Amino acid sequence: MAEYFYEGHFNASRITDSIQNVLNESRTFNRWSSRTSVFISHKHDDLNEISGFLGFLRNLGVDTYIDAFDPTLPNYTCGETAKRIKERIQQCDRFMLLATDNAIASKWCNWELGIGDVHKYKDKIAIVPIKNWDRTSYTGSEYLEIYPYLVVSNGTYFIKDITTSSFYPKMTPLRTWLQK
């Protein structure tokens, strides 16, 4: 069982549309939709990872939200930005952190994770650990000790939760976890 993913793991799921179309689609979710909505916390520098992961979730029938192209956000980062992001995290059914090295180092991603912790912990929050190819260790290992996280085993994706028991972690199929 893989405890983290390497960069590019979700590239096979990349949507063939332009990255702009993929990101635009992710901002238009309807919070009253019958489909599950997921707030994706990410570092903007990781657009290639984001595109593949959004395609992966779209293939599972999930509505996604990322802030990168949200037209309701101010053109500059300010208190209003934080207020609207908090609202979106609350409105979405689930919260996932695309935990690349860049995201782990980002003050915004860590702030969003804290907001997700308050509103989604622990059944509706998950880390997606993504490791750089050139690193020997994963920089976000402490996140995996306190939050449920995405794993893959024999081609099936699960949300693994070791916070219940390190000997017998709770393993929920991703499709089940994504249901409203």
Average pLDDT value over all residues in the chain: 86
Residue 18 pLDDT > 50: no
What confidence tier does 19 reach under pLDDT thresholds 50, 70, 90?
A: low
Q: What is the pLDDT of residue 138?
A: 85
Number of structural domains (the chain) is: 1
Each residue's pLDDT tens digit, 153-168: 999 999 999 887 667 8
Q: What is the chain's length?
A: 180
Q: What is the pLDDT of residue 79?
A: 93
Burial degree of 113 (CB within 10 A; 0-12, 13-18, 19+):
buried
CATH number at residue 71: 3.40.50.10140
Residue 27 pLDDT > 60: no
pTM given for the model: 0.88
Q: What is the pLDDT of residue 122?
A: 85
Residue span of the structural domain in which 83 resides = 5-177
